[in-house]
Amino acid sequence: MPISERVGRLGSGVFARNDRRKAAYAGEPALLDLSLGSTDLQPPPVAIAAMQAQLGTPESAAYCLHAATAPFRQAVARWAQRRFGTSVDPEREVLLLVGSQEGTAHLPLAVLNPGEAALLLDPYYPSHMGGLHLASAEPVLLPLRPEQGWKPDFDAVDDATWARIRLMVLGFPHNPTATTGEQAWVDAAVSKALQHGCVLAHDNPYVDLALDGEAPALLRNPAWREVGIEFFSFSKSWCLGGYRLAFAIGAEGLISALRQLKGVVDFNQSLALQAGAIAALEQAGDWPEQLRATYRERRDRMAAALEAVGWPVPLPSMALYLWLPLPPVARAQGLDSETFCARLLEATGVALTPGNGFGPGGEGWLRLALVHPVEQLEAGAARIGRWLASL
Ligand SMILES: Cc1ncc(COP(=O)(O)O)c(C=O)c1O
């Protein structure tokens, strides 16, 4: 059966293998899945009520064309004004998305011709690389280094390479390193994009989940509409991941190109879902604050629990994840991140994500998602500790 080379390049191997191992695990104790950023925390009731009120209406069942999304886009523009103090044109600079994953994965098709180069941070969020493969683009990796606090060094890319780069994809707060980052880092990316005439795509689903400091944003840079597009999501700030709601704000030309491209692929989300999203933006603006308090406690307690079993880990500046260096005993035995995760799962039922799934720069690291209550996380740390002691 003919399958495109493009699909071959998608190379989701690490995650597929991890999923197969999770599915095959039938041991005792029960699986404790800390490998996905899919939260156990709940969305604001006001958002769910707004959806319920609209479910079953004929308008919610119909295909939703762009014109019908105007109330949503207006709510987004008001949110951007409140959140970043910038005025956004809801007609021309806002686009509803079926998740920021969908938007960031489709964007390269709207920006790049086959073979053109795009800059990605390494480690990267997997769909950022996937989007480049879909567009048959050439990925250029910019390594992030722990000794530099995961700060991107845009000057490490030489001028000849910059001259080829048409799109830069980054996102702070950063998954998987769980680093909030600084506005200066995004501003440096804006300067490079202006200097070299490339598009800057800033993926910002964690804008409300900085635990230390304030999250950077492209929209805080006055040049945002000259260079780029920023992606926001309802999945993390309002725990609506399963509802697939997100939006992009950006330069008119980029929004219009992405809208045109998406017109081939999908329709907008139902008006019922949009009603929930509008309620989240307008009536549950404080929701992320309580999420941060919960994640902060989980972060602190889990880091302490791991340290107590002999695995000291860095305290991340962003909610939702710990980004863990392989423990010393695993390093001493020469285990890579995937082998470590496979053996950990088999022995303890605790599933983490191997860092190599996020690119070569993730090797030697593991991602742990804080998506269960503290008691379960601490019980997981105890299981991990007993297994490490047996190595
Ligand atoms: C960097 C990044 N972008 C996008 C997504 C996907 O978000 P959404 O649910 O809006 O598609 C995630 C989810 O974990 C993410 O970490």
Residue 106 belongs to a domain with what CATH number?
Answer: 3.40.640.10
Distance 159 CA to ligand 1 centre (A): 31
What's the pLDDT score for residue 370? 98
Of 94, 79, 80, the closest CA to residue 248 belongs to 94
Lowest mean pLDDT among 4-18, 62-76, 123-137, 236-250: 4-18
What's the pLDDT score for residue 27? 81
Residues 176, 123: contact at Cβ < 8 Å?
yes
Pairwise CA distance, residues 179 & 322, whole Å = 10
Pairwise CA distance, residues 33 & 47, whole Å = 27
**Whether residues 251 and 291 fall in one domain:** no
Which ligand 1 atom is the nearest neighbour of the CA of 103?
A: 11
Which ligand 1 atom is the nearest neighbour of the CA of 174?
A: 1
What's the pLDDT score for residue 362? 97
Ligand 1, from 100, 230, 234: best to mutate by most atoms within 8 Å of Cβ? 100
Pairwise CA distance, residues 170 & 189, whole Å = 9
What's the pLDDT score for residue 15? 81
Residues 50, 71: contact at Cβ < 8 Å?
no
**Whether residues 122 and 165 fall in one domain:** yes
Rg of the chain over Cα atoms, rounded to whole angstroms, equals 21
Rounded average pLDDT over 96-118: 98
The residue whose two tokens read 């999250």 is 215
What's the pLDDT score for residue 18? 87
Q: What confidence category does residue 28 fall into, taking pLDDT thresholds of 50, 70 and 90?
A: confident
Q: Where is the domain boundary, 267, 283, 299?
A: 283
233 HSE (CA, 13 A, CB side): 22
**Which residues partner with 210 through β-bridges?**
318
Q: For residue 62, what are the CA distances in angstroms to 57, 65, 72, 117, 290?
A: 9, 9, 16, 39, 35
Rounded average pLDDT over 166-195: 98
Domain that holds residue 102: 45-283
Distance 45 CA to ligand 1 centre (A): 22
pLDDT over 90 at 86, yes or no: yes
**Whether residues 141 and 197 fall in one domain:** yes
**Whether residues 340 and 302 fall in one domain:** yes
Pairwise CA distance, residues 36 & 211, whole Å = 20
Q: Where is the domain boundary, 233, 248, 283?
A: 283
Of 162, 221, 224, 230, the closest CA to residue 196 belongs to 162
- Residue of minimum CA distance from atom 5 in ligand 1: 101
pLDDT over 70 at 289, yes or no: yes
Q: What confidence category does residue 83 fall into, taking pLDDT thresholds of 50, 70 and 90?
A: very high
CATH no. for residue 294? 3.90.1150.10
Residues 361, 315: contact at Cβ < 8 Å?
no
pLDDT over 70 at 371, yes or no: yes
Residues 213, 199: contact at Cβ < 8 Å?
no
Residues 348, 387: contact at Cβ < 8 Å?
yes
Distance 162 CA to ligand 1 centre (A): 27
Ligand 1, from 236, 295, 318, 320: best to mutate by most atoms within 8 Å of Cβ? 236
- Residue of minimum CA distance from atom 6 in ligand 1: 101
**Whether residues 26 and 50 fall in one domain:** no
pLDDT over 90 at 286, yes or no: yes
Ligand 1, from 175, 244, 266, 323: best to mutate by most atoms within 8 Å of Cβ? 175
pLDDT over 70 at 55, yes or no: yes
Encoded amino acid at 285, one letter? G
Name the domain count of the chain.
2
**Whether residues 11 and 109 fall in one domain:** no
Dihedral, 27, 32, 35, 37 alpha carbons, nearest 10:
150
pLDDT tens for residues 211-258? Answer: 988 999 999 999 999 999 999 999 999 999 999 999 999 999 999 999
pLDDT over 90 at 39, yes or no: yes
Retrieve residue 5's tokens.
Answer: 């080379």
Which ligand 1 atom is the nearest neighbour of the CA of 125?
A: 1
Q: What confidence category does residue 12 fall into, taking pLDDT thresholds of 50, 70 and 90?
A: low
Distance 332 CA to ligand 1 centre (A): 34
Distance 100 CA to ligand 1 centre (A): 6
The residue whose two tokens read 């709601």 is 245
Distance 42 CA to ligand 1 centre (A): 17
142 HSE (CA, 13 A, CB side): 23
**Whether residues 198 and 100 fall in one domain:** yes
> Which residues, judged by CB distance below 6 Å to any ligand atom, belong to the binding site of ligand 1?
37, 99-101, 125, 171, 175, 203, 205, 233, 235, 241, 246
**Whether residues 164 and 306 fall in one domain:** no
Which ligand 1 atom is the nearest neighbour of the CA of 235?
A: 9
What's the pLDDT score for residue 16? 83
Lowest mean pLDDT among 3-7, 71-75, 219-223, 347-351: 3-7
**Whether residues 78 and 195 fall in one domain:** yes
With a pLDDT cut of 70, the percent of the chain lying above it is: 99
Lowest mean pLDDT among 8-22, 26-40, 150-164, 343-357: 8-22
- Residue of minimum CA distance from atom 16 in ligand 1: 175
Q: Where is the domain boundary, 283, 318, 335?
A: 283
Which ligand 1 atom is the nearest neighbour of the CA of 244?
A: 9
**Whether residues 243 and 329 fall in one domain:** no
Q: What confidence category does residue 308 fall into, taking pLDDT thresholds of 50, 70 and 90?
A: very high
